[in-house]
Structures are given as structure tokens and as C-alpha cells.
Amino acid sequence: MHVPLNSEAVRDALPVFFDLLRDESHPAVRVVLGHFLFVYIHPYMDGNGRIGRFLMNVMMASAGYPWTVIPVEERNAYLEALEIASIHEDIVPFTEFLDRLVRKGLAGQPLPAIPSH
């Protein structure tokens, strides 16, 4: 149901997107919003989801979180959570979805410490 931004809006949105990533100090917030906003902006004709998941994992790895793959059997839940965030402006289901996968990837290990600034 999400309709991507038009090409003019994409040109305006991407610099703001990169500013948000640069200025956000909490790595978990960067991960969730970085992935969501990239696929929301949808700057390319194809591959936005793959690039969004790659960016998510780069941000996770840089913060000490495990590389997280969206399992094929979780694809519908993943897309539904993104759709809820896009259409209903509710990021909580997407956040909880990623949290569950990250915790599963950590297999009982504690979450990485968040650096204080």
C-alpha cells in the first residue's frame, strides 16, 4: 500500500536521511529508523529492501549487534511491520520485529552497551 516518494521528493529526502543518521546517537534508533526511512524513501527502481537490510546490518555491526538476516519464513511479518510503519505511522511493530531477531541472534548474550556521549 505504501506509495514511494516522487523523484523530486527523493532528492530532498536523502540529504535529510543522511543528516538523521549522522546526528542520531543511539545505535538501535539508527538501525530501526535507518532501515525504515531508506525503504520508505525508496530511491531506486529495484533493490531498496536489499540495500535497506544491508544498511541496517552495517549499522548493527558498527554498534556491536549481530548481523541479522530476515528469514524467508518471516518475510510476511517483516513486510507487514514495515507497512504498519509506513501507512499507520506506527514504528513499534517493526522495532519489536527487529528486536526479536537481534535477541535471537545474540542467543542469550547481553545486548551491546550503548556508548554515552
* Enzyme catalytic residues: 42
Asked if residues 35 and 56 have their Cβ atoms less than 8 Å apart, the reply is yes
Would you state the cell numbers that stand for residue 39, as one nine-digit string? 525503504
Rounded Cα–Cα distance for residues 75 and 58 (Å): 20
